[in-house]
């Protein structure tokens, strides 16, 4: 197949390109040529900007396009309208964040979406991200009708992860010592290895599959405590690790610790819907989930290659030490 990739040089995009090349597809990358421009020296690269400069695609035709870099509805609308007569099949990478925030767990592909009025402007932040992605989906579906594939991804982790939500735990547990954790041992976690989702995306594109799919993992209930002990078993030293499970009121009420940001992967009970996504439809379509232990190893190897990297997520060592001191003192009293 001749596959056009919008983006393709960062994290998920890189792994999608890798999977497509392994499957002997002809890949063309369209992007600004700014991020990792030296990647894939043997792959065709077309330079441009989705915000008004699509000229390098004007005389081209492709079997399929994979849109990894669409975040704003106006930009996505430009792309789908420009490509509708040049590309038969459109795959849009969306997010499980598109769902309306409520207490409903196990959201499936028919659950209510969070749609907002964007007449005042398209600005991406924590509050608008999911709603903007939902509007992007709508733009794709309006133009491509049934000839599109919408993939709502959960948190993507693993090799080359630039966001560090998963890598924080790998890094922290490898360091050992006393580790601060929220006393929510049975809290559910969901994420998907970048290699698993990339391989499945390419297979779905090969088959010109259509429709909407949630895509996350693992394919069993994984609790926070289970995950921490998997990390300890794979890369940690149980003899050099002590786990302090601090209660939620101490963390959030007294010390303003932010779930998911300061303590990655963990979402406060009652706001944990995005760790309870129903993705049986993707599993039925052949999504394969590798063991979490393999993702831990990949993340550890990747982290080991980065020198002097400052993690983008999680508590700093200074902040964690401060909180541990308060927690231990409180419990001694």
pTM for this structure? 0.95
Query: What is the model's pLDDT at position 82?
Result: 97
Quick one: what percent of the chain has pLDDT higher than 70? Answer: 97
Query: What is the model's pLDDT at position 331?
Result: 86
Query: What is the model's pLDDT at position 165?
Result: 96
Residue 158 and residue 189: Cα distance in Å, rounded? 15
Residue 43 and residue 2: Cα distance in Å, rounded? 12
pLDDT under 50 in the chain at which residues? none
Q: What is the CATH number of domain 2-153?
A: 3.40.50.720
Query: What is the model's pLDDT at position 128?
Result: 87
**Buried/exposed code over 283-294 (b: 16+ C-beta within 10 A; e: otherwise):** bebebebbebee
Query: What is the model's pLDDT at position 269?
Result: 73
**Buried/exposed code over 141-171 (b: 16+ C-beta within 10 A; e: otherwise):** bebbeebbbbbbbbbbbbbbbeebbbbbbbb
Query: What is the model's pLDDT at position 119?
Result: 53
Query: What is the model's pLDDT at position 121?
Result: 66
pLDDT for 138-185, tens place per residue?
999 999 999 999 999 999 999 999 999 999 999 999 999 999 999 999
């Amino acid at each position: 197949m001749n596959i056009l990739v919008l983006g393709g040089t960062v994290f998920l995009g890189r792994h999608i390109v890798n999977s497509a090349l392994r499957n002997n597809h002809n890949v063309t990358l369209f992007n600004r040529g700014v991020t990792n421009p030296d990647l894939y020296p043997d792959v065709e690269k077309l330079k441009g900007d989705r915000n008004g400069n699509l000229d390098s695609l004007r005389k081209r035709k492709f079997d399929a396009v994979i849109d990894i870099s669409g975040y704003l509805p106006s930009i996505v609308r430009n792309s789908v309208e420009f490509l509708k007569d040049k590309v038969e099949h459109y795959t849009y990478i969306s997010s499980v964040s598109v769902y309306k925030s409520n207490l409903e767990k196990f959201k499936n592909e028919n659950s209510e979406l969070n749609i907002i009025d964007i007449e005042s402007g398209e600005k991406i932040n924590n509050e608008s991200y999911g709603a903007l992605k939902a509007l992007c989906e709508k733009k794709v579906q309006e133009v491509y009708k049934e000839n599109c594939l919408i993939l709502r991804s959960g948190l993507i982790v693993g090799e080359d992860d630039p966001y560090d939500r998963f890598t924080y735990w790998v890094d922290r547990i490898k360091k050992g010592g006393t580790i601060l954790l929220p006393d929510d041992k049975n809290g559910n976690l969901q994420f998907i290895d970048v290699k698993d989702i990339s391989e499945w995306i390419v297979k779905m594109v090969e088959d010109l599959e259509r429709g909407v799919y949630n895509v996350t993992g693992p394919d069993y209930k994984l609790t926070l405590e289970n995950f921490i002990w998997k990390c300890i078993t794979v890369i940690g030293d149980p003899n050099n690790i002590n786990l302090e499970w601090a209660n939620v009121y101490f963390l959030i009420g007294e010390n303003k610790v932010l779930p998911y940001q300061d303590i990655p992967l963990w979402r406060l009970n009652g706001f944990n819907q995005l760790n309870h996504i129903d993705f049986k439809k993707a599993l039925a379509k052949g999504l394969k989930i590798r063991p979490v232990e393999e993702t831990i190893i990949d993340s550890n190897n990747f982290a080991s290659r980065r020198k002097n990297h400052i993690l983008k997520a999680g508590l700093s060592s200074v902040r964690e030490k401060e909180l541990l001191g308060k927690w231990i003192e409180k419990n001694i009293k």
